[in-house]
Structure 1
Amino acid sequence: MAKDKDPKPSRIKISPWWIYGGILGIFLIASYFNNSNWQEPIQTNISQFQKYLDNGDVNKVIIVNKTQADVYLKPSALEKPEFSKIPKKNLLNKENTGPHFSFSIGNDQIFENKLIEATKEGKLSSYEIQSNPNYFMDILGFILPIIVLVVIWIFLMRKMSGGAAGGGGGQIFNIGKSKAKLFDEKTDIKTTFKDVAGLEGAKEEIQEIVEFLKNPQKYTNLGGKIPKGALLVGPPGTGKTLLAKAVAGEAQVPFFSLSGSDFVEMFVGVGASRVRDLFKQAKEKSPAIIFIDEIDAVGRARGKNNMSGSNDERENTLNQLLTEMDGFGTNTSVIVLAATNRADVLDKALMRAGRFDRQIFVDLPDIRERQEIFEVHLAPLKKAEGLDTSFLAKQTPGFSGADIANVCNEAALIAARYDKQAVDKQDFLDAVDRIVGGLEKKNKIISPEEKRAIAIHEAGHATVSWMLEHAAPLIKVTIVPRGQSLGAAWYLPEERQIVRPDQMLDEMCATMGGRAAEKVAFNRISTGALSDLEKVTKQARAMVTIYGLNEKLGNITYYDSSGQNEYGFTKPYSEETAKIIDQEISILIEAQYHRAIAILEENKDKLYQLADILIDKEVIFKDDLENIFGKRPFDKNLQEETTL
């Protein structure tokens, strides 16, 4: 029976600090054994020495460095009882030949004269004067500053290279190496398209890239070329990174992941060097995917920042990236995926065909996609039976995938806070309120006068929106402070693809309902309508300057989708046009404000009745409005929030 081979013993990693410690230890040992006799002399004083000298016990004296006297006794003197403390053997077990005593001298010239006189009298055989240099201290004084400087330099290089000592970018000489994290297709990548809920359009568009990586011959046999890259564009939290990882999982290829900021370094040429090293690694493992998240960190349009010059490090990194993606040294079977939410600032050369051949827009999920996302994130939760995911999807318009994940997690935390065994519908509603409006501040001190003003304000929003056809219907109104708001009203807006002027005007009127209610009820206004004013001003400015919905200015827009205007210091219109724009914005807002006042004047009794219920209950729902106003004739299932 064959014996199993012993596994190879792991090599001992020698740290450079061991070498430094060994050198220092050698110096210390050399210093300790610097004395040729290897035995430390006994300390005495000059009066004792004079006594030994007068008794004829001293054989020889050596003056060292004009400060110390080493005394050597005669062999016969060592036999005397008074010198019994002096060891007969040294550390090497040899005869102790001295020095036997040592003491400090004052004036070396006077002491030397005494020795000359004692020699003439025969009391002393001989004396010597020596200069004994301390080689250890001299060498240490020369080497120690160099060692300190080297250690500091190593520390700084490791810090600036941004990695641990074992990582690719953590060593001094690896600072130009790529910092991309490699996910192995056999062990690390577990994400597939089944794990990505919603995003049907994006998945369908990116499916072709997976087919290219799985079966490239199917396309190359017909003369087609494998695409160089795909750019995922969309708002934050929509699942761009997850989608890229799912592509790698579906294609079963190595996946290099890094951020655009990983190329940025304080050293000149490091970014370009990391780009070269990244593509070199990917080519060695091809077919492979390179995923660069937040590519706008290095892909910003060149020459737009006039303050930094035209040859900065970021531009050099971008130039190298452009060359690697489509240049003479083009890498085959390496596809670059990138993600950004600021595609308008990217360089045109990066966006052209041949580099990023496809631009895939990853939009916020619609109601059907939100339901699918909820089902994915609800799977690990202990949820109540009969929980309606379609209802949750309706309650979260405008939420991204990351927001929905946060809602599910927050709902579980709320349920645990109340010691529930399962997460139910109310927990999810509370979670939405918590995320959108902030944490309730029930202990905030509000005077009765302020509380009534807040109630009138929120009741005004609810009343006006109930009476307007295109305004979003109300779901809930509260005067409990949340976050920075003193009160809030939740609505369910319709998810529209296009918006008409009458719809925008109705929304503006409902937003101005809070300030209008204060005017009707108290004949004075307050600062509580700040967020309302900000919202309607943005809407009115968009109608006038972006969408071309103003009759006086006509069908014209000053919107620049390329983002070039933000780098200039001039407006795209004249001063006279600017005055007209300001006037038209003011006219729009004031018209809706007076329209809201007119609606509230007609329904003043109902406004006060609603405010009283709100003061009493602090929270009112759609049913309370139906009891006061009756059924809404144009009721739709829609959601949004207006805050005070």
Structure 2
Amino acid sequence: MANNNKKSPLNKNIKAPKFNFYWIYGIIFVLILGYQFLNSGNLSTKKLSENEFRTILKDNDISKIEIVNKDIADIYIKAKSLDKEKFKKDKNSFYNSSMPLYSYDFGDLQNFEKGLNTARTADNLDFDTRNVEKTNFLDQIFVYLPFIFLIGLWIYFMRRMSGGAGGGGGQIFSIGKSKAKLFDKDQEVKTSFKDVAGLEGAKEEVQEIVDFLKNPGKYTSLGGKIPKGALLVGPPGTGKTLLAKAVAGEAHVPFFSLSGSDFVEMFVGVGASRVRDLFKQAQQKAPSIIFIDEIDAVGRSRGKNNMTGGNDERENTLNQLLTEMDGFGTDSNVIVIAATNRADILDKALLRAGRFDRQIYVDLPDLRERKAIFKVHIKPLKMHKDVDLDFLAQQTPGFSGADIANLCNEAALIAARKAKKAVHHQDFLDAVDRIVGGLEKKNKIISPKEKKTIAYHEAGHATASWMLEHAAPLVKVTIVPRGQSLGAAWYLPEERQIVQSEQMLDEMCATLAGRASEQLMFNKISTGALNDLEKVTKQARAMVAVYGLNKKVGNLTYYDSSGQSDYTFTKPYSEKTAQIIDEEISKIIETQYLRALDILSKNKDKLTILAELLLEKEVIFKKDLETIFGKRPFEADELPKEVPVKDEKTDETANNS
């Protein structure tokens, strides 16, 4: 027996079919085909030529002529004439006497009627003639068909832009709806603070936000109010988005996640509408969190571009965002978290207290934090016991969390390429070289003379850095081309919070020792020191014009921390001061260059041994320098451990110029 109960268990999974707008497109297509078919004549009507029409007319076989819409003549044949041989082949089984057997396109109506009257009188014909007006529904449809097509095309693009698929028409008008992805109890985020290594200060700040959402009474009982927003600021790859994911995983409240660019649309008013819809949804699900990644896409300062004016769509979206954030009640329990690496370009109204009450700076990780990040990212890897995380943390200064994740993945790929069963320590070192220096180019064509110059250049860097107290100790020197450099030296500099003049001068001296070595050994200099010269020029200019470390210029700085000033065409000092700055920069650089020459001259024999060893092995390490130079004169029993790597490069572009 059939089950006709719609509410029965058998029918509970049966869903009513959704209305599909593609049916409209199909109907339009069928109408077009039908119109073309019917206009080409139906199955029982044949078009007559002029000679055929005159023959039938003269034989008095026509019973009636209907002039339809003053355009075409429908020809009806007498019943007694249909049995004639000439008409039998034009009849079919669907034909009846009430239908015209033929149609005739007569051209000019006045001439046609005149010809009919003449023929009727001359040949004594007895056919009837009448004018009729017929309205074809398809003709009317065809008149409006272009408009129907344009409306259908508009609907199609609106569905595409609003994320609609092939079925269903409910999303046509959802273009103004928020595109935020909701994470709640049905779609829980599994990331927690345990997955975020380092960032201790930032985690402490956001943990308080999470604690407020879980236990609001703990704070409101003392008269405190909910913080309305927190802005995560920091360099790319430092973990701002990851931190927001951890907040979502820890808070266990509805979490709306989207990018700043999701508000921006080509249609006027769409961005502001999406902002309103987003905050409306968040308030309905309060307590909740809204996370806006890359908020600078919509939060850029207003009035910076005079071409757009006040009607700019992005500015309208920002105005709505400001209004919504400032309109929260203290009991709404909705917090906005945003992330950006361009806080300097954000609108000041967005940064004020009451909108983003807190700005949390997410900085690059230090030595201890890098080690913790390594521990997180090596969990899925098959590690060999020789991996030294302390040394890897030392070798990666300036690496962000994303860089370290990439480094671990690169090490695994290198180990797999070499068909190893586990990732060894050397694989990590190779990955560091690959990321910092670029891909090795062992088969690059370099002449013996150029190779010797590069070897002495890099040996000069190594020698000077070994003999200078504040220069970073060497880890490795290579003359194998890598990336855009023809040679490189890796160091382990100390992680300093402040730098003194002596330290900067020693670093500049070691950097210039590459060119000084070429001058000393060959009495010639090359273009290979471009990278070195660029570095020391920036350091010297910073000493004089930024840090106030030059006695002649004095305790002045011409640095603008806001980043708003452009010194390309205008300088914040006079021409006389500019001349003094240039002279002092040149003096500092030349002094350190002569100092490098003096150090290398005193150790010329050891410099030669080191360069020849480098030519032989192509890669040398710290132990080779200890064999040649002995212990560093000012070195303690053990090198400091909080030290990572940076490199000095011999510039390939300059060498090829």
The TM-score, its normalising length taken from structure 2, stands at 0.88
How far does the alpha carbon of each residue in 1:581-637 deviate from its partner, in whole angstroms, 9 at most, with x for none? Answer: 222221111111111111122222222322222222222222222222223342445
Q: Distance in 2 between matches of 1:475 and 1:145?
A: 75
CA deviations on 1:452-492 (whole Å, 9 max, x unpaired) are 22222211111111111111111111222222112111111
Q: What's 1:594 paired with? A: 594
Superposition deviation, residue 515 in structure 1:
1.4
Contact 2:386-2:425 at 8 Å conserved across structures: no
Structure 1 residues 129, 562: closer, same or farther in 2, change over 3 A? same
CA contact (8 A) 1:458 1:487 kept: yes
In the alignment, what sits opposite 2:647?
Answer: 641
Change (3 A) 1:306 1:128: closer
2:349, 2:584 → 1: CA distance?
Answer: 40
Distance 1:419 1:104, change over 3 A: same
Query: 2:35, 2:138 within 8 Å by CA — same for their partners in 1?
Result: no
The Cα shift of 1:344 comes to 3.1
Residue identity opposite 1:145 in structure 2: P
Aligned 1:483-522 pairs, distance under 5 A: 483-522=483-522
Aligned to 1:89: 93
| Aligned ranges 1:70-85 → 2 under 5 Å | 70-85=74-89
Alignment of 1:189-228 (within 5 A): 189-228=189-228
Q: Partners of 2:529 and 2:172 in 1: how far apart?
A: 58
CA distance in 2, matches of 1:14, 1:452: 77
Q: Match of 1:607, as an amino acid?
A: L
Structure 1 contact 53–123 (Cα < 8 Å) conserved: no
Distance 2:326 2:52 in 1: 92
Q: Which amino acid aligns with 1:420?
A: K
CA–CA distance in structure 2, aligned partners of residues 3 and 71 of structure 1: 62
Correspondence 1:465-484 to 2 at 5 A:
465-484=465-484
Instruction: Indicate conservation of the 8 Å contact 1:54/1:123, yes or no.
Output: no
Letter of the 1:588 counterpart: I
- Residue 654 of structure 2 corresponds to which residue in structure 1? none
Query: Counterparts of 2:575 and 2:34 in 1: how far apart (Å)?
Result: 85
Which residue in the other structure is 1:544 paired with?
A: 544
Deviations 1:89-146 (A, max 9, x none): 32xxx62444334455688777766644543355632253757778467535531332
Residues 68 and 146 (structure 1), Cα distance of their counterparts in 2 relative to 1, 3 Å cut: closer
Once residues 552 and 425 of structure 1 are traced to their aligned partners in structure 2, the CA distance between those partners, rounded to angstroms, is 50
SS at structure 2 position matched to 1:335:
strand
Other structure's SS at 2:486 match: coil
CA distance in 1: counterparts of 2:163 and 2:578, whole angstroms: 52
- Which residue in 2 is equivalent to 1:10? 15
The verdict on how the C-alpha distance between 1:142 and 1:522 changes in structure 2, with shifts beyond 3 A counting, is: farther
Q: Deviations over 1:211-257 (max 9, x none)?
A: 10111011111211121122222211111111111112111111111
Q: Which amino acid aligns with 1:126?
A: F
Structure 2 CA distance for aligned equivalents of residues 355 and 75 of structure 1? 91
1:568-579 matches, within 5 Å, as 570-579=570-579
- Once the two structures are superposed, what CA deviation does each residue of 1:490-519 show, in whole Å capped at 9, x if it has no partner? 111111122111111111111111111121
- After superposition, the Cα gap between the structure-2 partners of 1:552 and 1:26, relative to the gap in structure 1 and judged at 3 Å, is same
Separation (CA, whole Å) in 1 of partners of 2:183 and 2:341: 24
Cα distance between partner residues in 2 of 1:153 and 1:518: 70
| Residue 21 of structure 1 pairs with residue 26 of structure 2 | yes
Q: TM-score, normalised by structure 1?
A: 0.89
Distance across 2 between alignment mates of 1:187 and 1:18 = 34
Corresponding residue of 2:178: 178
Task: Determine the C-alpha separation between the residues in 1 that align with 2:258 and 2:609.
Answer: 59
Report the RMSD for the aligned CA atoms in angstroms.
Answer: 3.3
1:424–1:26 CA distance, 2 compared to 1 (3 A): same
1:430 Cα deviation after fit: 1.0
SS of the equivalent of 1:359 reads strand
Report the secondary structure of 1:76's partner residue. Answer: helix
Choose 483-492 or 616-625, whichever is displaced more.
Answer: 616-625
Q: Structure 1: which amino acid aligns with 2:143?
A: F
For residue 86 of structure 1, report the CA deviation from its aligned partner. 3.2
Is this contact kept in 2: 1:383–1:422, CA < 8 A?
A: yes
Q: CA deviation at 1:314?
A: 3.7
Q: What is the number of equivalent residue pairs in this alignment?
A: 637
1:104–1:327 distance in 2 versus 1, CA, 3 Å? closer
SS of match in other structure, 1:365:
coil
Q: Using the TM superposition, give the Cα deviation of residue 557 of structure 1 relative to its aligned residue in structure 2, in angstroms.
A: 1.9
Partner of 1:297 in structure 2? Answer: 297
> 2: distance between equivalents of 1:399 and 1:190?
26
Q: 1:40 aligns with which of 19, 34, 44?
A: 44
Distance 1:313 1:436 in 2: 42
* Greater mean alpha carbon deviation, residues 196-205 or residues 68-77: 68-77
Q: Which residue of 1 aligns with 2:100?
A: 99
Query: How far has the Cα of 1:410 moved from its partner?
Result: 0.8
Matched letter for residue 246 of structure 2: A
The CA deviation string for residues 261-283 of structure 1, in whole angstroms up to 9 with x for no partner, is 33333444443333222221111
Shift of the alpha carbon at 1:182? Answer: 1.4
Matched residue of 1:613: which SS? Answer: helix
CA deviation vs aligned residue, 1:316-346 (integer Å, no higher than 9, x gap): 4333333332347567211111212233333
Q: Unaligned stretches of 5+ in structure 1? A: none
Distance in 2 of aligned mates of 1:611 and 1:378: 38
Note if 1:120 corresponds to 2:126.
no
- Write the deviation string for residues 154-204 of structure 1: whole angstroms up to 9, x where unpaired: 455567x5745599xx95643333222212244231111111112222212
Q: CA deviation at 1:307?
A: 5.8
Query: Which runs of structure 2 are paired with 1:262-277 in the superposition (5 Å)?
Result: 262-277=262-277
Residue equivalent to 1:627: 627
Aligned-partner SS, 1:582: helix
Look up the SS of the partner of 2:396 in the other structure: coil
Q: Deviations over 1:18-74 (max 9, x none)?
A: 234335535654775689x96432455444555545555444455667886644332
For 2:162 and 2:534, how far apart are their aligned partners in 1? Answer: 43
